[in-house]
Structure 1
Amino acid sequence: MSLNFNKAEFTRSAAARSGFLRDGRPQFAFAGRSNVGKSSVINRLLGRKNLAYVGASPGKTTQINYFLVDQQAYLVDLPGYGYAKVSKAEKDRWGRLMESYFQDEGGLITTGVLIVDIRHKPTADDVTMHNWFRESGCPEIVVANKLDKLKRSQVEPALELIRQTLELREEDRLVPFSAEKGAGKEELIRLLCEACGQ
């Protein structure tokens, strides 16, 4: 399946299980820490400046947001985790929402996209999210964002640290990416289109 990621529209936000979309279209679930640039990655992928909300303060995505790509598949923006300055009750609500999405009987996720910061070792939260994707049985693509912040000589050691921390297997996909410059965009689009063709 080939997808035109420039043809995307916001469809809905789900704050509870009843709001999840179950129309049989593939779903690419994007997850990442609140300050990792997830919205910027999504906007770069879709060729838009502000389709996904880019907040001045992290943690603005508090629901599960659906974007319909080329009328054929959904890009699903999951709530960011980690840094957001919100109450424990609100964090617990996000956690329950995410859990119900991951555990939905319909197996909603076609491919998981975990966004990490290439400059840092993945956090315990990143490892947890990676394990959620793995346990849900869906293929996963790890996107190492902020590539433009590293010198070329730093890239491979940084990627190796991510591979080791997340215990990535030979077949697992790891894409160096720059939401700022667009590096890695074509490879990520190719992998997502391939995932639809399975």
Structure 2
Amino acid sequence: MSESRIDFRQTKFLISAPDIAHLDQYLPGDVGVEIAFAGRSNAGKSSALNALTEQKNLARTSKTPGRTQLINVFALDDDRRLVDLPGYGFAQVPLAMKKKWQAALGEYLQKRSCLSGVVVLMDIRHPLKDLDMQMIEWAVMSEIPVLALLTKADKLAQSAKMKTVNDVRKKLADFGDWVQVESFSSLKGTGKPKVLGILNKWCNPQWLLDQQAQEQQQD
């Protein structure tokens, strides 16, 4: 695996899986590096992926819950992938299916050993809903770093945006270095360089080795 900076513009669609249990049937095992993108169905996840990769239609934006429920996997190269997890919290899906997906998402975060980081996307006007906090807690308990990405930052004035970012950082401060908080606008590119820098770090295998060594020292 090369440690050079990733050119996210070269990202390509790889596969769609109907559920997390089927990932190993579509992918070459739990190997390499994966970065997961998770968020409520209205958090702007697809728009963020398109903006970060500078591709208009890499991740299809849709209000159809059936499409939202697919896991979409994108290849950065032969060893590294972005995983677009199903949007949670969509209103038109039966409660039983919501609970099934919540359990499956938790299992993915806790058991996927190649998972290097999780981007939890939240509308900056409505951050830290219960399911957002649950995703962050699942990831941190599994010792997976989190980027809490406050999307649609262009919807707020600069002062309101900074206040929200600072408020969210205070609320997540107990998680320490495991959680970073940044604002982002798919429309205007706000925060894009910072996000790409974080993703590059997570894609770096040496960073993964350093994290593992640090965890062993703490134990």
The two structures share one fold, judged by TM-score above 0.5 = yes
Shift of residue 114, structure 1, vs aligned partner: 0.8
1:92-111 equivalent positions in 2, closer than 5 A: 92-104=99-111, 106-111=112-117
- Runs of 4 or more, structure 1, over 4 Å off, are none
Q: Which moved more, 1:12-21 or 1:111-120?
A: 12-21
Q: 1:28 to 1:78 in 2, by over 3 A?
A: same
Distance 1:41 1:30 in 2: 10
Residue of 159, 162, 165 corresponding to 1:156: 162
The structure 2 residue matched to 1:188, chosen from 195, 198, 216, is 195
Structure 1 unmatched runs, 5+: none
Q: Which runs of 5+ in 2 are unaligned?
A: 208-219
Q: 1:39 aligns with which of 33, 46, 60?
A: 46
Assess, with a 3 A threshold, how the Cα gap between structure 1 residues 76 and 136 changes in structure 2: closer, same or farther. Answer: same
Q: Distance in 2 between matches of 1:168 and 1:42?
A: 28
Partner of 1:77: 84
Q: Is 1:12 paired with 2:18?
A: no
The structural deviation recorded for 1:116 is: 1.3
**By percentage of residues, which structure has more helix?**
2
**Alpha-carbon distance in structure 2 between the residues aligned to 1:84 and 1:108:** 31
Matches within 5 A, 1:121-136: 121-136=127-142
Structure number with greater Rg is 2
CA distance in 2, matches of 1:116, 1:160: 15
Deviation for aligned residue 1:58: 6.1
Shift of residue 83, structure 1, vs aligned partner: 2.9
Q: Per-residue deviation at 1:183?
A: 1.4
Q: CA deviation at 1:23?
A: 5.0
Shift of 1:32: 0.6
Q: Counterpart of 2:163 in 1: which secondary structure?
A: helix
Percent identity of paired positions between Structure 1 and Structure 2: 36
Give how far 1:140 is off: 1.2
Residues 1:47 and 1:120: Cα distance change in structure 2 (over 3 Å): same
Q: 1:60 to 1:152 in 2, by over 3 A?
A: same
Most deviating of 33-42 and 81-90 = 81-90
One-letter code aligned to 1:74: R
Please give the TM-score of this superposition, normalised by the length of structure 1: 0.90
- Which stretch shows the higher mean deviation, 169-178 or 29-38? 169-178
Task: Measure, in 1, the Cα distance between the counterparts of 2:87 and 2:66.
Answer: 6
Could you say if the C-alpha distance between residues 18 and 83 of structure 1 is closer, same or farther in structure 2, counting changes exceeding 3 Å?
Answer: closer
2:63 to 51, 56, 59: 56
Give the structure-2-normalised TM-score.
0.82
Q: CA distance change for structure 1 residues 59 and 159 in 2, over 3 Å: closer, same or farther?
A: farther
Q: Which amino acid aligns with 1:159?
A: V
Distance 1:58 1:179 in 2: 22
1:177–1:103 distance in 2 versus 1, CA, 3 Å: same
Matched, 1:137 2:140: no
- RMSD of aligned Cα (Å): 2.0
